[in-house]
Copies of this chain bind each other. A is one copy, B any other.
Amino acid sequence: MYSDPSNNWPKPYYAVIFTSKRTPADEGYGIMADKMEALASTQEGFLGIESARSEIGITVSYWNSLEAIKSWKNNADHMMAQRMGKKVWYEWYHLRISKVEREYFHYMDVPIDEINLQKG
């Protein structure tokens, strides 16, 4: 999942960087992860979320204030998921709260497939 690349969020905003190493245990992880992503997106102050997983997982969620991040941390359903995360799903995780100070966006003008077609 990724946030709208054409976003134009008010500055400053905050990024919560969650990096993790999963255990081999499933125990409903996928269902809960989807549920938490959906629930986060309904919270006051939520701006967007981006995630990827290969050897490790990285999820970055974006918020308009530290208060919004704190409220989400203390959300009852989210707290239950956090407990499962600590006990079952994550060998380790790091969570970093950071303030976004600068940003740069790049979009390729022409998709690469089109370039190839034009060449052919």
Which A residues are within 8 Å of any B CB, using their own CB? 1-2, 5, 14-15, 17, 19, 21, 23-25, 50-58, 60, 66, 85-86, 88, 90-108, 111-113
Contacts and interface: CB of A to CB of B under 8 A. Distances in A.
B54 A53 contact: yes
Contact of A111 (B14, B66, B91): B91
Nearest to A16: B102
- Which among A24, A93, A98, A102 has the highest number of chain B CB atoms within 10 Å? A98
Contact of A91 (B93, B98, B99, B112): B112
A53 B53 CA distance: 6
B50 A52 contact: no
A14 B100 CA distance: 10
A96 B106 contact: no
A2 B51 contact: no
A107 B53 CA distance: 19
A103 B108 contact: no
Contact of A112 (B17, B19, B24, B66): B24
Contacts of A103: 94-97
Contact of A97 (B23, B54, B96, B101): B101
